[in-house]
Amino acid sequence: MKKYLLTSLALTGLTILPALSLAATPEPGTFTFTPQIGGYFFEGNQDLDDNIMFGLAPGYFFTRELAAELVIQYIDTETDFSSNNKDIDGWLYHVDLLYHFSPDNRLVPFIAAGVGGISVHDTPEGNDSSVQVNYGAGLKYALTENLDLRGDIRHMISFDDHVSNLAALVGLTYNFNQSVQPAPEPIQKLTPVAPAPIVLDSDGDGILDNLDQCPDTPTNLMVDAQGCPITEEISVDLRVKFDHDKANVKANYDAHCRKVADFLTTFPNATAIIEGHTDSTGSEEYNQQLSQQRAESVRQYFIDNFSIAPERLQAKGFGETSAIATNDTEAGRQDNRRVVATITTMRTKTK
């Protein structure tokens, strides 16, 4: 019936709407499903009424332009004899290729072609099947992101019967798996930050290299805030007294002298000025000589008995000029008859 054609074309005309931002074709790899309704129009010599047609068409998009559909359609028709009309069922099944133009537009025209068959049952001649090819064109209009309104017009050619029919359909195509991806967040370019330099404590003294003014400090030494060894002054006193007018070191000073010698041995950089003194008995000249002899005697004592290097010891006589006690008593004079030395060195403090 011509009214179906008109209805179909009218519905097809709905697709001629302004193209907006939505796209009517999905991304490649998308499956589609299209229910259709329309009209099927037979050639006059087939003695069949034009009638309504229903169809289902699952499809698949290979690219944004190229898609394939498997179409199954049903025609509910009847003979067009003036009397004794008879209901006739027709089935069409075909595989079509569709090519879409301007796929990014909301309104997309396409062309289609396919091959399949038509099977008409219960005709006056019995059942009739035929290979059928079709070609045509259509329009798609994106209603939503996933749903398109669609119109098709196809010329259907049945080879076995040498007849050509016309189909006009409208449908709704649902695009599966098509989702609008949100625009990716712009990647904020971060200003590269140089990694903080790793500061080492190369000598392990607890002071980082950037603060350590004394590299390679032995690990057993105490260090200051600058990473340098802490030194301290250390000294030992030599006190030897002499009998009147004598310059020999008496035996009872051996232990004391040994203690001083141990200091000199422990600190080989230590040196000493050994000072000799006398009381005021006798002339100054004599006492000067005697004081020098006492200093030399003590110096030699260390050289002979403790193997102290001679160059580390210097003997110097001061005569009677540096009394530390009164010369008016025997006790005072005894105190003044002396050799003294204060031996000082610097020692590095250990942990």
> Nearest Cα to 264, choosing from 229, 237, 284?
237
Q: Which is nearer to Ca ion, 229 or 332 (CB)?
A: 229
Q: In the complex, what is the shortest distance from the CB of residue 223 to Ca ion, in angstroms, rounded to a whole number? A: 6
How many other C-beta atoms are found inside a 10 Å radius of the C-beta of residue 16?
10
Residues 227-286 that bind Ca ion (CB under 5 A): 227
Binding of Ca ion by 221 (CB under 5 A) = no
Select from 69, 128, 152, 212 the one that contacts Ca ion (CB under 5 A): 212
Stretch 184-203: interaction string toward Ca ion, x if CB under 5 A: -----------------x-x
Select from 131, 143, 214, 257 the one that contacts Ca ion (CB under 5 A): 214
Q: Which is nearer to Ca ion, 49 or 205 (CB)?
A: 205
Q: Interface with Ca ion by CB under 5 A: which range of 126-134, 135-143, 213-221, 234-242?
A: 213-221
Helix (H) or strand (E) holding 76: strand 66-78
> Nearest Cα to 112, choosing from 187, 223, 36?
36
Q: In the complex, what is the shortest distance from the CB of residue 234 to Ca ion, in angstroms, rounded to a whole number? A: 22
Select from 108, 166, 207, 264 the one that contacts Ca ion (CB under 5 A): 207
Q: Interface with Ca ion by CB under 5 A: which range of 13-21, 37-45, 207-215, 232-240?
A: 207-215
Stretch 148-187: interaction string toward Ca ion, x if CB under 5 A: ----------------------------------------
Residues that bind Ca ion (rule: CB under 5 A) add up to a total of 8
Residues 86-115 that bind Ca ion (CB under 5 A): none
Nearest-CB residue for Ca ion: 227
One-character DSSP codes across 259-288: HHHHHHHHSTT--EEEEE---SSS-HHHHH
**What is the Cα–Cα distance from 108 to 15, expressed in whole angstroms?**
9
The answer for residues whose C-beta is within 8 angstroms of residue 161's C-beta and 6 or more apart is 46, 128, 130
> Nearest Cα to 343, choosing from 244, 284, 259, 279?
259
**What is the Cα–Cα distance from 341 to 103, expressed in whole angstroms?**
109
The answer for residues whose C-beta is within 8 angstroms of residue 95's C-beta and 6 or more apart is 68, 69, 70, 71, 114, 115, 116
Binding of Ca ion by 205 (CB under 5 A) = yes
Place of tokens 């950037």: 210
Strand pairing of 313-317 and 272-276? parallel
The answer for residues whose C-beta is within 8 angstroms of residue 277's C-beta and 6 or more apart is 291, 294, 317, 318, 319, 320, 322, 323, 324, 336, 337, 338, 339, 340
Q: In the complex, what is the shortest distance from the CB of residue 194 to Ca ion, in angstroms, rounded to a whole number? A: 24
Binding of Ca ion by 80 (CB under 5 A) = no
Q: Which is nearer to Ca ion, 20 or 230 (CB)?
A: 230
Q: In the complex, what is the shortest distance from the CB of residue 219 to Ca ion, in angstroms, rounded to a whole number? A: 10
Stretch 313-342: interaction string toward Ca ion, x if CB under 5 A: ------------------------------
Give contact residues for Ca ion (rule: CB under 5 A): 201, 203, 205, 207, 212, 214, 217, 227
